Copies of this chain bind each other. A is one copy, B any other.
């Protein structure tokens, strides 16, 4: 395994230095609805007038490689307190999964969750509280994860400031990770979360796509498939709790190849002791899919001999090795099926 990893890393570095040719790139939105806004203050507090705004849309940025049509497109959706920056250049300046997948001839679509980053959010309640028409208690819980909380949830070490000896996250670049942590306004969203519907609609628009989620969005691919499985060719869920589903929901999801991935040190961090429970809930989910005849796989990295991976495994030092595991799974489980259809 060691030699394999080393050879792969050297190959990846040479790979990263070559120019990249893409057939097309751009950005667009999926979803979004009009919402009437009462008069709110304008810039500088100037009086505003009532009007409509658009909410719940999802911003998507894409690159299609020259040989993109040979593979199923991959949609990547970030987790809590983060944006699509998750998948780009790592905090220590290495290639992210977005570009690596493109260099492996996959069309990649990065989505900012509805209510986050370039997708905007619904500011109505905050404006109403400021205007005095709604009490402060109704303000949304804006979740801003502190550095200290991130250290624990993202499993960088047994206590704040002390990394695990085999930690794969580039701890020296931690300040750059902290800069990509942004306020999470998902509590302002309606239920069900419009990102789920938007992800399903994106897969239909692309005439078939693999949906990948991480952490907060780890189960979004499955939630999207429960709304509309039509365009969804594969589900990739990274590090999240798996909720209890009804038998008919399991049966519906069992029709789509599913990969779940977890990193290391699940039980070794203070404060947030939920990782072992999340892992167990997903082991159960994978088994339920298999029991219904589904093609489902749990990749526990430490059980495969890959040690020290954090929750931010797409940014860890061995991130391209992990990307290769996913690409190989897609080839064998999603695209092998595609070819026989």
Contact = CB atoms under 8 A, between A and B. Distances in A.
A39 to B, nearest CB: 9
A139 B146 contact: no
Contact of A85 (B48, B52, B118, B137): B118
Interface stretch (A171-179, A200-208, A223-231): A171-179
Interface of A is mostly: mixed
Interface in A138-166: 139-149
B147 A51 contact: yes
A305 B40 CA distance: 39
A148 B52 contact: yes
A99 to B, nearest CB: 7
A66 to B, nearest CB: 6
A98 B119 CA distance: 19
A126 interface: yes
A38 to B, nearest CB: 10
A130 B120 contact: no
Interface string A12-30: 0000000111111111110
A142 B21 CA distance: 41
A129 interface: yes
A93 B27 CA distance: 9
Given A41-B141, A57-B179, A136-B129, A20 B19 contact: no
